Amino acid sequence: MEKRDEVIMMETGKKRILIIEDDEEMRSLLKEFLNEEGYETDSVDNGSEAYRRLVRELFDLIITDIRMPGLSGVDILPGFKKLQPQTPIIVITAFGSEEVHRRALERGADAYLEKPIHLEEFRILLQKMTSPEETK
C-alpha cells in the first residue's frame, strides 16, 4: 500500500493545482492563467501520468479535461478521489451534455465547466475551491 510519508508536498505557501489536459495549447493557457493568479501549477497530458503524480504529490485542486487519449477524465475521477479524497476536482470539456455533467458529478467531480472557459467565472470557482471552508 502507499505510504503517505513518501508523498511529496511543496512548501511554497501557494495552493498547488494539477492540470490534466491533452491539448498543449489549452494546457499552456490554463497554466499561465493560474500562475498569474498566484497558484503553483503542475501539468500532465493524460490520466495515467496524473494518477502517478497523485500517488507521489499532494495537490489543493485538480483540473481535468474529459476527452483525452486513453483514460477519460470521467474514468479517472474515482481513482483520484481514492488517492486524495480531500482534493476538489474541476472537470472541463468542450463536449458537454447533461449526461456528461451528471456522470462527472456522480464519479467525484466537485464542479463542471464547459469550454470556452469564462475567466471571471473560473476565477471565482478557483477561489471557492481552494479557500478553507468558513466556519459553519
The residue ranges of every structural domain in the chain are 13-129
pLDDT at 123: 95
Report the C-alpha gap between 99 and 122 in whole angstroms.
Answer: 22
Question: Does position 51 have pLDDT exceeding 50, yes or no?
Answer: yes
Question: Does position 3 have pLDDT exceeding 90, yes or no?
Answer: no
pLDDT at 37: 95
Identify the band that residue 133 occupies on the pLDDT scale cut at 50, 70 and 90. Answer: low
Q: Say how far residue 79 (Cα) sits from the centre of its chain.
A: 13
What angle (nearest 5°) sits at the alpha carbon of residue 89, between those of residues 36 and 108? 175
Average pLDDT of the chain is 87
CATH 1.20.140.10 fits 13-129, yes or no: no
Average pLDDT over residues 75-99: 91
| Helical pair 47-56 and 73-83, crossing angle rounded to 10 deg | 10
pLDDT at 12: 57
